Amino acid sequence: MKVFISGNIASVGLEELESNGIAITQWNEDRQITAAELIDACQGQDGLISVGPNKINAKFLNACKHLKVIALHSVGFDQVDVAEAKKLGISIGNTPGVLSGATADTAFLLMLAVSRKAFFLHKKIIKGEWRNYEPTPELGIDLNGKTLGVFGLGKIGLEMAKKCSGAFQMPIIYHNRKRNPEAEKEVNATYVSFKDLLAQSDVISIHTALTDETKGKFSLDVFKQMKAGAIFINTARGGIHNEQDLIRALEEKVIWGAGLDVTNPEPMDRNNRLLQMENVAVLPHIGSATKETRDAMAKLIVGNIMAGLEGKQLPHPIW
Ligand code: 8YV
């Protein structure tokens, strides 16, 4: 059996595929494969491991109907036309659970970095601007006892809530489509309306999927309903906030700061205004990027691929 990999996965996954007799072809260029190149590369293959933001849309699926299985190197599947995959009967699997801790760590890191202006002050040292000890300018804000508002309290949101509640005794409020009784029990989270989430949170952390409902949800109008001292954290998908509106909200001090691991588009332009701002921290989509997590993701991917190639139900199907 043959599998194409559109990027790099942890070597533990490659080794397991090889020991199962799978012939691997890999995209090795230092740029994202284009849609047309991906279609070409998948001809003659039995399976695809999709790494990064490749669009698994109707065009791709119809051009690659022969694929027995597609294993995503992600838990998110907003890039997939699920209805079309279902119609064509192409099995698609993802990597749930194993990246919740690492992604929540990234949200926590960004929250702290923003609260202390860490990235901005680090850049000042590099620019030779650390001259003398100045006690008052560029002060950060304490997180202790501040309210964390989670938008989309699932597995990742719960991990973030646990960290914030343990480290800073932050009360947790959340807004979901459905209530999460487990989180209510584990971190004493209180379910609130979206409006109250905006009005009451000192930090809002986004942990929802990108869907028609959440696309562009955080617009200027929404930022205006947040506290002036609030920090906005997004480690989910860049499409959930409107970037121009976020820039405006920060410039006009509608909110206090923002930490992003996801942007729209990705990669972010190096001249983006957000990268110059004092109360902003941006990372290049590293949510799941730890050795342990990427190894665990690779193992789930192999599980999905092998099951799909054998015509079995995937252990982690998205439909
Ligand atoms: C992936 C992610 O690393 O799981 C997700 O949804 O965003 C990341 O963990 C990224 O999608 C690259 O494949």
**Whole-number average pLDDT of the chain:** 97
Which ligand 1 atom minimizes the distance to the CA of 73? 13
Which ligand 1 atom minimizes the distance to the CA of 94? 4
Assess whether pLDDT exceeds 80 at residue 187.
yes
Residue 121, pLDDT score: 94
Residue 134, pLDDT score: 76
Which ligand 1 atom minimizes the distance to the CA of 75? 4
What's at 34, amino acid-wise?
T
Ligand 1: lining residues by beta carbon, under 6 Å: 51-52, 73-76, 99, 287-288
Residue 80, pLDDT score: 98
At 254, the pLDDT band (50, 70, 90 cuts) reads very high
At 138, the pLDDT band (50, 70, 90 cuts) reads confident
- Mean predicted confidence (pLDDT) in 22-34: 96
Told to judge if 241 belongs to the known catalytic residues of this protein, a careful annotator would answer no
274-298 tens-digit pLDDT: 999 999 999 999 999 999 999 999 9
At 131, the pLDDT band (50, 70, 90 cuts) reads confident
- Mean predicted confidence (pLDDT) in 14-32: 97
The residue from 186, 266, 273, 278 that is catalytic is 266
Burial class (CB in 10 A: 0-12, 13-18, 19+), 44: exposed
| Predicted TM-score of the model (pTM) | 0.96
Instruction: Output 136 or 71, whichever has higher pLDDT.
Output: 71
- Dist CA 101 CA 11 (whole Å): 21
Which of 54, 79, 99 should be mutated for ligand 1, with most atoms under 8 A from CB? 99
Told to judge if 116 belongs to the known catalytic residues of this protein, a careful annotator would answer no
The residue from 237, 241, 294, 316 that is catalytic is 237
Residue 266, pLDDT score: 95
Assess whether pLDDT exceeds 90 at residue 114.
yes
Assess whether pLDDT exceeds 80 at residue 207.
yes
Task: Specify which residues 234 forms β-bridges with.
Answer: 206, 260
The residue from 73, 207, 285, 294 that is catalytic is 285
Q: For 290-305, b where at least 16 C-beta lie within 10 A, e where not — what string?
A: beebbebbbbbbbbbb
The owner of tokens 């972010």 is 268
Residue 142, pLDDT score: 98
Residue 132, pLDDT score: 83
- Mean predicted confidence (pLDDT) in 110-129: 96
Cα torsion for 215, 98, 114, 217, to the nearest 10°?
Answer: 10
Told to judge if 122 belongs to the known catalytic residues of this protein, a careful annotator would answer no
Assess whether pLDDT exceeds 90 at residue 136.
no
Give, using CA atoms, the residue closest to atom 8 of ligand 1.
Answer: 74
* Ligand 1 mean position, distance from CA 72 (Å): 9
SS3 sequence, the chain? Answer: CEEEECCCCCHHHHHHHHHCCCEEEECCCCCCCCHHHHHHHHCCCCEEEECCCCCECHHHHHHCCCCCEEEECCCCCCCECHHHHHHHCCEEECCCCCCHHHHHHHHHHHHHHHHCCHHHHHHHHHCCCCCCCCCCCCCCCCCCCCCEEEECCCHHHHHHHHHHHHHHCCCEEEECCCCCHHHHHHCCCEECCHHHHHHHCCEEEECCCCCCCCCCCECHHHHCCCCCCCEEEECCCHHHECHHHHHHHHHCCCCCEEEECCCCCCCCCCCCHHHHCCCEEECCCCCCCCHHHHHHHHHHHHHHHHHHHCCCCCCCECC
